[in-house]
A and B are shown apart, each in its own frame.
Chain A
């Protein structure tokens, strides 16, 4: 698979390390009333869809940026690659 890095252009997926579903960007609030339940979900429960999947890849053998890759888990086709930072900022996160 070739991941079209927003800054570096097309790179082989073997340069990256895969973490998992991009929901991992949204760490629950540890002070919420149901924080325990939320963290159990966050840590363990996944949608695991057959089809489009937004997922985190880390460019370990490259510029060490975290990317949010949208990829079809049935065909391996990659339809979008964004910097995870941009995604988090667009969702209103400050850091």
Chain B
């Protein structure tokens, strides 16, 4: 069924009896050409683009819980392409371009809203860094604009720009950035993939690989053995766990990132805004809640919940930026498990096992990458060559020294 305005009106007049399920609840078949492990945004997008762009068939997505229950349904939904390094920026800009046409492509309302992101700057050095970053973005076909304090105040008049320690001197604006409805992204990809014949198999946990003579044969799952010509892992925070079934150890640590939502407020934030003197980002959802977050807690964990010190830290940053928030009540907080790589950059590559591929190391920035990650991973799976925007995301870069360290932090995952 195609969704459209006409359809909504028709269903409204006929008691909404015509809406079917958006995707089939498929049972596993004995064998597939492609098995994608992980029904998050990236896994579903990979399956979709495999079917649509690369004309492949016999594809399954295996999800241990329900689709969208992982990070794709837990993030703060910021979509942007304001990266500096050559290895990253073309990829994230490719992703943002896919976002811009995603709703038409999927025939699904992902509530993509290009409301702009402003990264505030608080020192001369930071202004220099942002100018450099803005230039790198423009060179890669993205948009960037440097704002002075007055221009920032026009959009956010209530900002505390005269903070003695961290005055707001201006900001770097990417007007095409914004937010999207995270669950809708998972559901939209699931529905569109399903329509192209992809089997989405929920409550199906991968518990092992069958590997013979250095070649993948299939996967062991909680719903039995499933044969596969090619297997792509796409499990975000569970990457080390799943790849360990193939005897691999990864340049990744799992950490928790928390997110927060305030009670619903009248429209106050026109776009996404980030505090440049710490790590804090905030936007307002269409329901009115302020959605915000900060740093990862900083220790290895697989518990999808964080601790109080980071809660306090995030609130302090919020109040430093917007003193008016002091009276808003916090409604909810939660956490998701981040696959923090050693250089802060993802990995999308083959492994040493023939037919086994790996996608992970997204740190806390993989939501914006969802369309491109799926696209380039599908490219890799279908053609065995990297997509031209993703040649830097190699698994062996830690051996060859070609790290892509956007923040220049070194091999310490909790600093990225």
Contact = CB atoms under 8 A, between A and B. Distances in A.
A11 interface: no
Contact of A44 (B299, B398, B414): B398
Contacts of B307: 1, 13, 76
Q: How large is the interface on B (under 10, 10 to 19, 20 to 34, 35 or more residues)?
A: 20 to 34
Contact of B300 (A1, A20, A40, A75): A20
Contact of B299 (A43, A45, A46, A55): A55
A79 interface: no
A55 B300 contact: yes
B303 A40 contact: no
Nearest to A12: B309
Contact of B240 (A40, A43, A48): A48
Contacts of A74: 301-303
A44 B309 contact: no
Interface residues of A, number: 24
B61 to A, nearest CB: 22
Given A18-B414, A20-B413, A40-B399, A45 B301 contact: no
A53 interface: yes
A47 interface: yes
Contacts, number: 66
Given A18-B414, A40-B398, A40-B399, A47 B249 contact: yes
A24 to B, nearest CB: 10
Contacts of B300: 20-21, 48, 53, 55, 73
Interface string A6-31: 00000011100011110000000000
B411 A44 contact: yes
Contacts of B250: 45-46, 48
A73 B251 contact: no
Interface string B291-334: 00000001111110001010000000000000000000000000
Interface string B90-117: 0000000000000000000000000000
B251 to A, nearest CB: 4
A20 B253 contact: yes
A76 to B, nearest CB: 6
Contacts of B240: 46-49
B370 interface: no
- The 10 nearest A-B residue pairs measured at CB: A48-B240, A14-B309, A44-B398, A44-B251, A50-B302, A18-B299, A44-B342, A45-B249, A73-B301, A73-B302
Interface of A: 1, 12-14, 18-21, 40, 43-50, 53, 55, 71, 73-76
